[in-house]
Amino acid sequence: MSSSDEKQFDRSLSKAERRKEEVADAAWEVIAKKGLGGASMREISHHLGVTVGTLTHYFRNKDQLLEFAQIAVSRRLKDRFESVAEAPPSSRLMMMIEALLPTDETRRDNEKVWLTFLTETFTSDELKQQTGERWLYVRSSLTEIIIEDRKLSGHDPVLSPEDEADLILCFTEGLCVHSIIDTDRFPPERQRALAREILTAINIHTRAI
């Protein structure tokens, strides 16, 4: 998570809490480059430029560090969603989808790590629960906006708000995967264009941002 917009830590955080966020960033960056197997405490400390002892001062072990890193990234996703809360529902929906897309280096790294963790959900109930909570939050947020947009527009599509939210989420997750694997075919501008197309296809009106 190297871009400046992702590094804007809450000013209310204590020095120790900010340091934990920095350690979590380092862990995320190492996983994006070397996978979970390569994300040892030694490798993370080397990437951050500190000793292993410094890491264990904040996190007892790798599992505790990775759990915190996941929570930190999920919180920042929520922050991005909340930052567009005042926009009209139709525009806000597109903005929220874009917040999920890997349209810059930081978000590409984030998506690489999420994909890495997804493979671990088959053997880890804890990771499966965390991933499910993330999807539940995104799905609920999309559903709320769809309901609000319908009330304002007066249109009543065949799909229920929940089904539309699932359709958007599944499409977006699939687009994220393809965008990570084939970056030349799915540059940021094409990701946004395809997202608008899917919204139009299911009769949700949105405007360019």
Residue 55's pLDDT band, with cuts at 50, 70 and 90, is confident
44 and 54 Cβ atoms separated by less than 8 Å: no
User: Taking the CA of residue 30 as centre, how many other CA atoms within 13 Å lie in the half-sphere pointing to its CB?
Assistant: 24
pLDDT the model gives residue 12: 54
pLDDT the model gives residue 10: 52
Whole-structure pTM value: 0.77
Whole-angstrom distance, CA of residue 6 vs CA of residue 19: 15
pLDDT the model gives residue 11: 53
Distances (CA, A) of 53 to 21, 85, 103: 17, 41, 36
**Token pair recorded at residue 129:** 């629960």
Tens-place pLDDT, residues 2-27: 444 444 445 555 787 888 888 888 88
Mean pLDDT of 21-40: 85
Q: Is the pLDDT of residue 47 over 70?
A: yes
CA angle 144, 186, 99 (to 5 degrees): 30
Distances (CA, A) of 27 to 13, 86, 113, 132, 146: 19, 33, 10, 22, 36
Residue 100's pLDDT band, with cuts at 50, 70 and 90, is very high
Q: Is the pLDDT of residue 205 over 50?
A: no
Mean pLDDT of 110-131: 82
pLDDT the model gives residue 174: 95
Q: What is the DSSP string of 131-168?
A: HHHHHHHHHHHHHHHHHHHHHHH----SS-HHHHHHHH
Q: Is the pLDDT of residue 187 over 90?
A: yes
Q: Is the pLDDT of residue 88 over 80?
A: yes
Residue 40 burial by Cβ neighbours in a 10 Å radius (0-12, 13-18, 19+): middle
Q: Is the pLDDT of residue 120 over 80?
A: no
Whole-angstrom distance, CA of residue 115 vs CA of residue 177: 8
The full set of domains in the chain, from first to last, is 11-68 (1.10.10.60), 84-209 (1.10.357.10)
Tens-place pLDDT, residues 148-184: 988 887 777 778 899 999 999 999 999 999 999 999 9
Whole-angstrom distance, CA of residue 157 vs CA of residue 207: 18
Mean pLDDT of 68-73: 79
pLDDT the model gives residue 171: 94
Distances (CA, A) of 88 to 25, 50, 147, 165: 32, 46, 12, 17
Q: Is the pLDDT of residue 34 over 80?
A: yes
